[in-house]
Every structure is written in structure tokens, then in C-alpha cells.
């Protein structure tokens, strides 16, 4: 799949229980405010982990810089997708199936699935025994399970999810609203930033993707196709700068989102619940690199929305979507219009389906950009910016490390959190 188109957050003690609602007044927060406060806390705690991220990334970069050593991925499909073929990310990340080849050697970033934790930890243990360098991304509970299973990764990157992976107490599910995916994405890109920086300190600059929304990005990629490192020697990056800059920029995105979009999130939740009370169906059409569509119906999803798309561009034609139904559309930088999306927007509007949109706001296309959202439809800005990369590397031609993956998760679960609060008072 083609790639998508300074400061330090306050640091929170890693010893504080990960309830997602710590701090003065947080126990009084409800809905999206609770989710956003958890996310801000997650970003701050990841910033406190930067020294550990540096050590982990330096060890992995030393392997990657060797001849024949590559970077592979294993585990959760959405997290693998987020790291693979991504604007602001590494171009030399192997197809995930390669790590299963018997003679393959290199670094494996592992994202165990909570629904198959025992099986995934056993597979990760096999990677270690085969001599691969394993970096395990997991929340606290999964780390305890990994230790009990004798997984033995070379390093562990903590993902500061909510308790048991969920955020809000739920009588039926224990905990509603998933936090593990967003927490893992936060940690992933902070780690990747330090991995790239460590490579520069060995006089190697990995080739990085530029968003295909930027003119010339495809030609740039063709020039570097197949290359692991650039020929030119890079300017060495100071340890810690990339991760801290990324986390500060991401925190700024979340701050802007809270200030500007909080009321629109509430309107979206109210519209969805109104449609539900009237007996209509609720769907989600999600188009993003984290495969957020896979989270619909997964652990901690309270089940308000049914999954409408099972691939990137097309709604499932077998699902009934009729007048009065509502579709939450979490997009990238363009609405689901035109032939690429099988004229989804026009077809839904013609049926009298209510559409709620969320995407970045920079595209100026009058039909497919934000201007294509009708006045009677809600538009939630994701507040990441043109180029979808936020960290400057000294002497490098593009910025690296995207924030859009976290912001798409933020939109989806902020709306769901507000719905949960209205239904359950939390």
C-alpha cells in the first residue's frame, strides 16, 4: 500500500496506575473528555520512557545497519499496517510474511494481539530462539503475560493503555473503549524516531516515505526504490530529539482537537444515538492505515457501530443501508466520493443516509476535500497537517513520523466515548 498522503510534554510517573483518569478532576470527566485526558496522559508517560526507547532503538539499529539485517513486523494487523508503507515511515520494512521464512535474520517489531495473546507470545518466543532481535510492544498486563510465558524479548516498549486495555467501566464488557491500539501507535512512532536517529549516528540515513499527497512524492520514491540507506552521509541526530519532538507535536494535535472539535464530537454522538432511538442502523466506514475498521466488534468496542467496509475503498454491498441510517466516516484527507470510492457519498445521500465525516482539512478539492462535506453533515477535523509528518531531520529533505494514525483513533473513540457517557452516565 502506498504511503499516506519542538518541545517535551509533561512527564508522568510510570509508577502511576494506568486508569486513564488520573489527576485532579479526571474522576469527574465523562465521555470524550475522559478519552482525551487518557491520551494526553499516555503521550506524557511515553515521553517519560524516552531513555528506554533510546536504548532499545540503538540496539535494533546496530543490527539493521549490518549487511543483510532487515526490519520485520509481526502481530496485530492494524499496527503492522501502520508501520508498513507509511508516510513519514521507513521504506525498508519487509512484508510481514517474510519473518516466517526459516533463514530470515533481523529485527522484529512484535505487536501481540490481545485476542490471541498466548499463541502470539509462543510465536515471539520462537523468533527469539531462532536468533532474531525481538522488540515487544505491549501494555503492562501483556508484559506480565510475556514474562510468565518466558518470551524473552531483547527489549520491551511499554504502551500506556488503560486498565485491561479498555477505558470506561462497562457492566457488560468490563471495560469499554479500546486504548491499546492508540497507545501502541504513540509508542511505535516515538521508537521509530529514535531508531532513525540511532542509524544516523552510525553514518546511515534510512530512506523514508513522503506522503503521496505531496506533489513529487511518487517520483521521489521511485528514485530511492529498493534502497535501504541514502548514499549521502547524514547529519547525526541527537538521541531523544526525534521522540520528544514527535510526542510534543502529537500532544499539540490533541490539544487543538479538544479545543476546536469537542462540540462536533458531541453533535456526532447525539446524532448517532438519535438515529439508534428511532430504530435506524449505525455504521462505520473507516479508511486509514491503522485498519481502524478491524477494531469494530473487537475487544472493548461497545458495539454501537457495525463495520461497513471490509477493504480500503468499498462498502460491503450486502449490508442494508437505508433512509435514516447513519454512517460515521473516518477518512484521511478526502471524503469517500468519486470512482475510487465507488461514488459512496453520492449513493448514500441519494438514499437519505446521514453522514458524519472526519478527515484532515488541508485538501482544497471542492468535491472530494472537506469542501465536499454538505452543510447538513457534521465534519470533525483531525487536526494533523499537510505532509503527515512532524519531525525535521537535520540535512534531510523531508519530515518524518506521522500523527494521523493516532488522530483517527482519537476521532472514532471520542465519538464512541460520548455515546457511552450519554447511555451509561460515564
* Domain regions of the chain by residue span: 26-246, 261-424
| Dist. CA 221–CA 350, nearest whole Å | 40
Instruction: Give the up-direction half-sphere exposure of residue 226: CA atoms within 13 A in the CB hemisphere.
Output: 1
Residues 312-355: pLDDT tens digits? Answer: 899 999 999 999 999 999 999 999 999 999 999 999 999 999 99
Provide CATH code, domain 26-246: 3.40.50.10490
Same topology, domains 26-246 and 261-424? Answer is: yes
Q: What is the mean pLDDT of the chain?
A: 91
State mean pLDDT over 102-113. Answer: 92
pLDDT bin (cut points 50, 70, 90) of residue 96 is confident
C-alpha cell at 187: 509508542
Residues 227-245: pLDDT tens digits? Answer: 999 999 999 999 999 999 9
pLDDT at 271: 98
- 294 vs 323, more confident: 323
pLDDT bin (cut points 50, 70, 90) of residue 3 is low
Instruction: Centre a 10 Å sphere on the Cβ of residue 331 and count the other Cβ atoms it contains.
Output: 21
* SS3 assignment, position 208: strand
DSSP state of 18: -
pLDDT at 19: 37
pLDDT bin (cut points 50, 70, 90) of residue 310 is confident
pLDDT bin (cut points 50, 70, 90) of residue 105 is confident
Question: 75 pLDDT exceeds 70?
Answer: yes
State mean pLDDT over 384-394. Answer: 97
CA dihedral 357, 359, 363, 364 (to 10 degrees): 20
pLDDT bin (cut points 50, 70, 90) of residue 120 is very high
CA end-to-end span of the chain: 39
pLDDT at 167: 93
Residues 169-211: pLDDT tens digits? Answer: 887 768 999 999 999 999 999 999 999 999 999 999 999 999 9
Q: Are strands 133-138 and 155-158 parallel, antiparallel or unpaired?
A: parallel
Residue in 83, 105, 113, 87 with CA at minimum distance from that of residue 95: 83
State mean pLDDT over 60-88. Answer: 91
42 to 36, 142, 413: CA distances (angstroms): 10, 17, 15
pLDDT at 189: 98
pLDDT at 200: 97
* 286 touches 335 (CB < 8 A): no
pLDDT at 89: 96
Topology, domain 261-424: Rossmann fold (3.40.50)
Residues 6-37: pLDDT tens digits? Answer: 333 333 333 233 333 443 344 568 899 999 99
Q: What percent of the chain clears pLDDT 70, i.e. is strictly above it?
A: 93
pLDDT bin (cut points 50, 70, 90) of residue 426 is low
Residues 146-179: pLDDT tens digits? Answer: 999 999 999 999 999 997 899 988 877 689 999 9
| Dist. CA 109–CA 99, nearest whole Å | 10
Residue in 128, 226, 137 with CA at minimum distance from that of residue 184: 137
- Choice among 35-49, 101-115, 236-250, 352-366 with the minimum mean pLDDT: 101-115
Amino acid at each position: 500500500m502506498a504511503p499516506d498522503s519542538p518541545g517535551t510534554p509533561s512527564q508522568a510517573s510510570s509508577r502511576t496506575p494506568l486508569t486513564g483518569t488520573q489527576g485532579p478532576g479526571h474522576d469527574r470527566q465523562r465521555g470524550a473528555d475522559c478519552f482525551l485526558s487518557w491520551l494526553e496522559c499516555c503521550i506524557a508517560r511515553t515521553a517519560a520512557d524516552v531513555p528506554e526507547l533510546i536504548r532499545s532503538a540503538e540496539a535494533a539499529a546496530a543490527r539493521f545497519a549490518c549487511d543483510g539485517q532487515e526490519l520485520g513486523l509481526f502481530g496485530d494487523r492494524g499496527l503492522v499496517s501502520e508501520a508498513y508503507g507509511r508516510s513519514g515511515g521507513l521504506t525498508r520494512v519487509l512484508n510481514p510474511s517474510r519473518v516466517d521464512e526459516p533463514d530470515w535474520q533481523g529485527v522484529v517489531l512484535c505487536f501481540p494481539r490481545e485476542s490471541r495473546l498466548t499463541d502470539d507470545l509462543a510465536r515471539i518466543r520462537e523468533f527469539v530462539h531462532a536468533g532474531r532481535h525481538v522488540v515487544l510492544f505491549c501494555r503492562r498486563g501483556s508484559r506480565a503475560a510475556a514474562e510468565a510465558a518466558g518470551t524473552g524479548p531483547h527489549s520491551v516498549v511499554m504502551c500506556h493503555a488503560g486498565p485491561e486495555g479498555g477505558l470506561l467501566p462497562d457492566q457488560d464488557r468490563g471495560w469499554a473503549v479500546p486504548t491499546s491500539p492508540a497507545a501502541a501507535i504513540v509508542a511505535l512512532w516515538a521508537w521509530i524516531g529514535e531508531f532513525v536517529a540511532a542509524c544516523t549516528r552510525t553514518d546511515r540515513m534510512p530512506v523514508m516515505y513522503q506522503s503521496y499527497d505531496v506533489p513529487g512524492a511518487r517520483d521521489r520514491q521511485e528514485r530511492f526504490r529498493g534502497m535501504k540507506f541514502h548514499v549521502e552521509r547524514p547529519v547525526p541526530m541527537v538521541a531523544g530529539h526525534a521522540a520528544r519532538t514527535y510526542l510534543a507535536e502529537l500532544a499539540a494535535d490533541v490539544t487543538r482537537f479538544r479545543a476546536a472539535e469537542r462540540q462536533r464530537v458531541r453533535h456526532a454522538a447525539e446524532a448517532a444515538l438519535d438515529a439508534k432511538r428511532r430504530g435506524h442502523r449505525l455504521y462505520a466506514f473507516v479508511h486509514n492505515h491503522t485498519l481502524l475498521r478491524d477494531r469494530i466488534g473487537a475487544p472493548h468496542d461497545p458495539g454501537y457501530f457495525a463495520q461497513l467496509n471490509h477493504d480500503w475503498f468499498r462498502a460491503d454491498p450486502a449490508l442494508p443501508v437505508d433512509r435514516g441510517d447513519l454512517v460515521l466516516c473516518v477518512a484521511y484527507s478526502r471524503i469517500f466520493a468519486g470512482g475510487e470510492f465507488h461514488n459512496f457519498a453520492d449513493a448514500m445521500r441519494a438514499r437519505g443516509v446521514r453522514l458524519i465525516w472526519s478527515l484532515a482539512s488541508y485538501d482544497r478539492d471542492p468535491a472530494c476535500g472537506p469542501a465536499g462535506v454538505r452543510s447538513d453533515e457534521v465534519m470533525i477535523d483531525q487536526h494533523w497537517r499537510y505532509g503527515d509528518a512532524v519531525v525535521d531531520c537535520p540535512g534531510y529533505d523531508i519530515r518524518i513520523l506521522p500523527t494521523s494514525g493516532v488522530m483517527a483513533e482519537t476521532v472514532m473513540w471520542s465519538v464512541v466515548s460520548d455515546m457511552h457517557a450519554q447511555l451509561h452516565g460515564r
